[in-house]
Structure 1
Amino acid sequence: MTLTRSISFVALGTALLLLIPLTAKLFLAEMAWSVGDFVAAGIMLFGSGLMFVLIARMSDNTWYRLGTAVGVGAGLMLVWANLAVGLVGSEHNPANLLYVVVLAVALIGAFVARFHPHGMSNAMFAASLTYVLVTAIALYIWKPTGAAAEPNVGLVTVLAANGLFAAVWAFAGLLFRRASTSGSKAGPRLA
């Protein structure tokens, strides 16, 4: 499939996914998305889809493509959850800004590895470890319990949710590791 056609599918998929909250907004009074929310969601969905297309095209290995899907999906869900409800306390808790470091580790690691499977695996494992460290720092500095905006958020809930996110990054690392041992000829190629 050509790059142009792949990008067209990403744009179409983004539009179709945005129809879900648009339909909900038309029929549910509780659906309080603004135009800005739709724009932000569109940018995140299209950007993630585009990133997947560009990275997945660098290898014809199925494990590499699955690792790409899980890694990009983890990044998308990290940003989405942080903007929607926050990962530590509410979305207004400044501790949530620390999670940008996780995305930076994953992206910088991927570029340093030149998108080769073994290096991508290391980048995803580093992102998982960074996620755990950022969560520990955030919980040490800012306590999630007792936050006025989220009084029902307990430590166990925060730890479970963040543990799940860290596990997803590690799973992406395992998929890339599998790609590196299965004879993938991955490397930068976009055509």
Structure 2
Amino acid sequence: MTLTKSILRVALGTGLLLLIPLAAKLFVPGMLWSPGDFVAAGILLFGAGLAFVLIARMSNNTAYRLAAGLGVAAGLLLLWANMAVGLVGTEDNPANLLYVGVLAVALIGAFVARFRPLGMSNAMFAASLTYLVVTAVALFVWKPTGTAAEPNVHLVNVLVANGAFAAIWAVSGWLFRRANATGSTQQLA
């Protein structure tokens, strides 16, 4: 499939996905999305889809493509959750800005690795570790506020959710490592 067709599919998919919250806004009284929310969601979804298309085209290896999909999904989920409700406390907690470092590690690592599987694996594992460190620093420096400040239960939720996000980065790293180990990765770019 040509790059132009792939980009058109991403745009179409983005539009179709945005119909879900639009329908909810029309029929669910508690749906409070503003036009800015739709624009932000569109940018995030289209950007993630485009990133996946561009990275996945670099190899015909299935493990590489799955790893790329998970890595992109991890970045999308990190941004979406952070903007929507925050990963530590509420979305207004300044500790949430530290999570930009996770994306920076993943992106810089990917570019330094020139998107080769072993380097991408290292970048995803580094992003996973960075995620855990950022969560620890955020919880140590800034105590959760709002509903997350309630005793123990919410702190456990924060730890479990952040652990799950870190695990997604780690699984992506493992899949990139598998793509490297198979030796059948044919770099297309």
Q: TM-score, normalised by structure 1?
A: 0.95
Question: Structure 1, residues 108-150: CA drift from partner, whole Å, max 9, x if none?
Answer: 0000000000000000000000000000000000111xx2364
Gaps of 5+ in 1: none
1:183 Cα shift? 1.2
Q: Please say if residues 90 and 150 of structure 1, whose CA atoms lie closer than 8 Å, have aligned partners that are also in contact.
A: yes
Q: Which amino acid aligns with 1:4?
A: T
Matched residue, 1:180 = 180
Match of 1:115 in 2: 115
Alignment-derived partner of residue 140 in structure 2: 140
- Asked if structure 2 preserves the Cα contact closer than 8 Å seen for 1:56 and 1:68, the reply is yes
**Are 1:84 and 2:84 matched, yes or no?**
yes
- How much has 1:155 moved relative to structure 2? 1.3
- Structure with bigger helix share is 2
Q: Provide the rounded CA distance (Å) in 1 between the counterparts of 2:186 and 2:141.
A: 41
What is the match of residue 60 of structure 2?
60
Q: Report the Cα offset of residue 34 of structure 1.
A: 0.3
Structure 2 unaligned segments of length 5 or more: list them: none
Q: Which residue of 1 aligns with 2:75?
A: 75
| Structure 2 counterpart of 1:6 | 6
Query: Percent identity among equivalent residues?
Result: 71
Task: Quote how far apart the aligned CAs of 1:186 are.
Answer: 4.5
Do 1:14 and 1:45's aligned partners in 2 also have CA atoms closer than 8 Å? Answer: yes
Q: Is the 8 A contact 1:67 1:176 kept in 2?
A: yes
User: Residues 148 and 154 of structure 2 are in contact (CA less than 8 Å); yes or no, is this contact kept in structure 1?
Assistant: no
8 Å contact from structure 2 (residues 132, 162) kept in 1:
yes
3-state secondary structure, aligned to 2:86? coil
CA deviations 1:84-119 (Å, max 9, x no partner) are: 000000000000000000000000000000000000
Q: Give yes or no for contact 1:18–1:38 (8 Å, CA) kept in 2.
A: yes
Distance verdict in 2 for CA 1:186–1:135, change over 3 Å: farther
Task: Report deviation, 1:181.
Answer: 0.5
Computed over aligned residues only, the root mean square deviation of the Cα atoms, in angstroms, reads 1.2
Letter in 1 for 2:98: L
Q: Which AA in structure 2 matches 1:54?
A: L
Does the aligned pair in 2 maintain the 1:64–1:176 contact within 8 Å?
yes
Aligned residues: 187
**Structure 2 length normalisation: TM-score?**
0.96
Q: How far did residue 180 of structure 1 move?
A: 0.2
**1:188, CA displacement in angstroms?**
6.2
* Deviations, residues 59-104 of structure 1 (Å, cap 9, x unaligned): 0000000000000000000000000000000000000000000000
The letter for the 1-side match of 2:102 is V
